[in-house]
Amino acid sequence: MNRRQFAKRAALMAGAAPLLRGAPTPKPVRAYVGTYSSPKGPEGSKGRGSGIYAFDMDPQSGYLTQRSVFKDDTNPSWIAIDRTRTHLYAANETESGSVSAFSIAGGSGELTLLNRASSGGAGPAHLSIHPSGKYVLVANYAGGTVAVLPIVEDGKVGEPVDIHKDSGTVGPPKAATGPKGSFAISGHDKPHCHMVESDPMGHFVLCADLGLDEILIYKFDVATGKMTPNTPASLTLPAGDGPRHFVFQTNRHWFYTLQEESSTLVACDYDSAHGVLKPKQTISTLPKDFAGTDFTSEIAQSPDGRFIYVANRLHDTIAWFSIGSDGKLTWAGEEWTRGDYPRSFTIDPTGNFLFSCNQRSDAIVCFKRQMKTGELAFTGQYTAVGTPAIIRFL
């Protein structure tokens, strides 16, 4: 055996050593799926989900195994898990509007309903947890309000301590920008708060109002939970574009907002000391020659902060963009969602898999993510869930 053969065999034996020693199998990761579950679901359609589902994800394959379901017919269409991983909060997208608080059992991950409180408006479509862990922030789409609910004893939610009703001039029905021939028209009848989230430092709260075409910015008092308009009080986007969701990049100084009706991303610099957004780039979420109607839905960044991903509904793709050293975006690719109307998607904690909630296809689809290029590859895995809206990992 020559030196090269010896080295090759030694390497093979070293790779096999963990198998010979009986290396432990990675523990499954618990995932929760919120659904549309009431007879009156999204866009007037019937919800086919049963409530909040609990799954185990195999971290090696991405395969989802259902463990249980907390039956709930109030459209728990958005969920968030606190940083202690002991409580889950759900926005119940109904006309009355409420937020549910659940405890998460340490071993089994089973959900126990603690209480419900008013969301401070109709049709809550999004909620988030303030970095302090003391408040749940709720965006009431139908009601056009943003509310602050305190997290009280044992993880329950209290009634709102502050409610702000969005006001201003609504934009035109059709976006000023967007793809050729688009008939993407919705939400410009009145203010519609579609997302609310604190900046990473917890000093400011930002709200994307689709109807007003603005990102509203509030100063936040963590001692009281009160919000006051910042100066300036908003970032104005092109008329009719309809800001839906946004994300802060991991460096905390770059901000990306996704517009539903124009299918665009706007990259901004963020002044964290003063809560000011400064736009520097607008880029389409669709291929260069695309024509027709599309509605974007979700935006997320990779765990390493190198890529931005967005979902396109009707076009039914997940597109990804590389983030440059100046924070600007470059189109990098897209992948078919293997289903209809991706309402949202989530990258698992390892960064290896992306899961698309295909609302109208009643399935969650798993993709393998390539770390270096951001590329997505279909794993062949479909998980049946009625009108899935969101998946979150514990």
pLDDT value for 23: 63
> 207-258 pLDDT, tens per residue?
999 999 999 999 999 999 999 999 999 999 999 999 999 999 988 899 999 9
Per the structure block, which two tokens stand in for 321? 């963009």
Q: What is the spatial order of strands in the sheet that 145-150 belongs to?
A: 124-129, 135-140, 145-150, 162-165
Specify the higher pLDDT residue, 322 or 2. 322
**Under a CB-based contact definition with an 8 Å cutoff, are residues 198 and 179 in contact?**
no
CA atoms of 31 and 89, how far apart (whole Å): 14
DSSP string for 313-378: ETTTEEEEEEE-TTS-EEEEEEEE-SSS-EEEEEE-TTSSEEEEEEGGGTEEEEEEE-TTT--EEE
Query: What is the band of 298 on the pLDDT scale with cuts at 50, 70, 90?
Result: very high
Question: What pLDDT digit, counting tens, does each position of 66-90 carry?
Answer: 999 999 999 999 999 999 999 999 9
Q: Residue 232, preceding bond cis, omega within 30 degrees?
A: yes
pLDDT on residue 2: 52
pLDDT (tens digit, 9 = 90+) per residue, 21-63?
566 788 999 999 999 999 877 776 789 999 999 999 999 999 9
Q: Which of 95, 101, 164, 93 is nearest to 124 (CA)?
A: 93
Q: What pLDDT is recorded for position 186?
A: 81
With pLDDT > 70 as the criterion, what percentage of the chain qualifies?
Answer: 94
C-alpha span between 348 and 279 (Å, rounded): 29
112 token code pair = 């126990």
Model's pTM, two decimal places? 0.93
Q: What is the pLDDT of residue 22?
A: 60
pLDDT of residue 252: 87
Residue 1 or residue 23, greater confidence: 23
